[in-house]
């Protein structure tokens, strides 16, 4: 279903598997709430999907927060938008009756960056994240205490995200307590079949491990 309530235009699709968990699907620049739903289904066929549309427009293209230039983020706007998105997720969990303890973000590019910001600024919101083509969104004044599992899948030939930047993000999240796996794709900034296969396998392992730990 598509809804404009709760502060964001969004789509919510209910789980077909009671143990499937929920994915928070976050599009890249110029995307919308429908773009990555097929990706979510490929990664976790039985999961519920929550997919909001970014509210910031850049040349008419939706994003989740402002940037000042390519790779240069408006940090104050990012903090405000992450708080806003975090509040939306909490309200959506109440509305749609899903457990945030099983909520995993799946973000591409700008969506991956806002997901990383959620981990660092609202550690109560996400249990894990799959980050495609992600950069360091910001370095918080104080690191949170994370227990999240995170997959970072970036491209070796990505002109926007360097290997050094990827390492900085992984270290930042690890220093906050997250369990981080970094994987490399041979291509650039676009998603590939390798990303999908990797994410599906990683999510299946993470879900199994979480179920074992809570049983």
**Which residues are the active-site residues?**
109, 158, 189
The beta strand positions in the chain, using DSSP E, are: 2-3, 10-13, 22-26, 48-52, 56-58, 61-63, 67-69, 72-73, 103-108, 128-132, 149-155, 179-185
Determine how β-strand 72-73 pairs with β-strand 103-108: unpaired
Helix, coil or strand: residue 202: helix
Helix, coil or strand: residue 17: coil
Burial zone of 19 (CB within 10 Å; 0-12 exposed, 13-18 middle, 19+ buried): exposed
Q: Kindly report the CA angle at 152 between 95 and 49, in degrees rounded to 5?
A: 20
């Amino acid at each position: 279903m598509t809804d404009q309530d709760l502060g964001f235009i969004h789509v919510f699709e209910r789980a077909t598997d009671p143990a499937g968990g929920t994915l928070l699907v976050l599009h890249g620049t110029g995307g919308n709430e429908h773009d990555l739903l097929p990706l979510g289904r490929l990664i976790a066929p039985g999961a519920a999907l929550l997919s909001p549309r970014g509210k910031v427009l850049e040349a008419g293209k939706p994003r989740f927060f402002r940037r000042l230039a390519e790779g240069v983020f408006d940090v104050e706007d990012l903090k405000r938008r992450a708080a806003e998105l975090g509040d939306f997720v909490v309200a959506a969990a109440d509305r749609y009756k899903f457990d945030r303890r099983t909520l995993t973000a799946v973000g591409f590019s700008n969506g991956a960056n806002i997901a990383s910001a959620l981990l660092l600024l609202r550690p109560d919101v996400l249990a894990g994240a799959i980050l495609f083509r992600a950069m360091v969104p910001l370095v918080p004044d104080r690191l949170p205490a994370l227990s999240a599992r995170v997959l970072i899948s970036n491209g070796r030939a990505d002109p926007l995200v360097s290997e050094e930047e990827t390492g900085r993000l992984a270290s930042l999240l690890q220093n906050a307590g997250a369990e981080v796996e970094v994987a490399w794709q041979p291509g650039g900034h676009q998603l590939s079949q390798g990303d999908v296969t990797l994410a599906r396998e990683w999510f299946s392992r993470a879900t199994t491990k979480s179920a074992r730990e809570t049983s």
